[in-house]
Amino acid sequence: MPKISPPSADTPPAFASSLLASTPALIVLAIIAAGLLWWGCQIALMPAASPAVQASGRPALPVSSARQQPTSSTNPESGFLPTNPASSPPPSPTPEGMVWVPGGEFSIGCSDPRGIPHGGTNPMADARPIHRVTVKSFWMDATEVTNRQFEAFVTATHYVTVAEIPPRPEDFPGAPAENLVAGSIVFTPPDRPVGLGDHLQWWRYVPGANWRHPFGPASSIQGHEDEPVVHIAFPDAQAYADWAGKRLPTEAEWEFAARGGQAGLVYPWGNQFRPEGRWMANTWQGRFPSENTAADGFTGIAPVRQFPPNDYGLYDMSGNVWEWCADWYRPDTYQRQQLGELPTENPTGPDTSFDPQEPGIPKRVQRGGSFLCTDQYCSRYIVGTRGKGDVTSGCNHIGFRCVQDVH
């Protein structure tokens, strides 16, 4: 069972102790303020699909359907060179629910997206320099792990997630017992347009929110079994992967898979955000954070397989929910790899974590963005961009998928 921090998991221990000893009203505000100091786009909303969409049940799309013909953007000046996939055929049999990723050499990273349509305002400096990396072949889950799959794991193991465990009094001496309540953070859109400088305007801490109850005790995953499981902290994802005989992907494996054999494309499907007007991923439409028009068919999280897969047959490698990777996060990882301080063949990342925005808070890499990403606030639906998260924090836009080595 993983050790838990309170929902304000990004808070240094001394500060967390003082928060838990304060009044409940201040606890809520302080927990949100401390627990959400991630990249601006790591914000969550998991409302159900709009009634019209749920009633119609948007079908899964085949690999060949609604896809832009990709054109690799190989440009030596930008750092992107052709991807060289391995030629070995996939072994048999294919593990259930997984697809073959052939491995090979590719250019990892992201050009500065500012100035391109839907590129946003963040330079994504931690995703540079673009450089060459090699990964071995592996199997990868075609979709993010769903509520149905995670429930089977919990039923078999009686596992309890981080969000379900109350903070321990010994970790927070002096804190009133009524403040030591398990829960998680839920995005609540304001009822009017607001400035984007204060995320406290659209967040609230909800006691009892967890993977079974995404919005709190009164909510349920019933009817949402095929949606990605959320409120998942890093130890929760690791525990599931161990049980399933799999593991979490490295950051390099994740990006190689997301690129689908292509080189230098902005998105997993090509360079246009909406080729021929088609929605290719579950992201935010409308004015953030007060209005989501659900133009893509969903006001929040979507069931898996609702948008076209990439060329490897992987779904939702952009948008829907963030996905944990195995690597520790550092903003200088790519510089160190290019300088030869870290390996570039089957890289597993640095040995320790460091985030200059929150020194001392261990963080792992997260990839793919979420259904709440928008160029107004976050454009990490772009395939080479990097996210990060406190290892003991889950939220209702954070999930995962697994990989499996070739035996």
Q: Which domains does the chain have, with CATH numbers?
A: 45-160+221-407 (3.90.1580.10)
Contact between residue 118 and residue 153 where contact means Cβ atoms under 8 Å apart:
no
Average pLDDT per run of 10 along the chain, which is 407 residues long?
A: 30 31 38 39 36 35 42 63 93 95 98 95 96 98 98 98 91 80 88 87 88 97 98 98 98 98 97 97 93 95 98 98 98 98 98 95 97 92 96 92 95
The 3-state DSSP composition of the chain as helix, strand, coil percent (nearest 5) reads 20, 15, 65
Distance of CA 98 to the CA centre of its chain: 19
pLDDT in the model for residue 203 = 80
271-277 contact pairs (CB < 8 A, 24+): 271/71, 271/73, 272/68, 273/117, 273/118, 275/67, 275/68, 276/68
Pull the structure tokens for residue 3: 């050790």
Contact between residue 322 and residue 398 where contact means Cβ atoms under 8 Å apart:
yes
Contact partners, residue 133, CB within 8 Å, separation at least 6: 105, 106, 107, 108, 252, 256, 337, 344, 345, 347
pLDDT in the model for residue 325 = 98
pLDDT in the model for residue 73 = 56
Which amino acid is it at 115?
A: G
Angle between helices 13-20 and 24-35 (to 10 degrees): 150
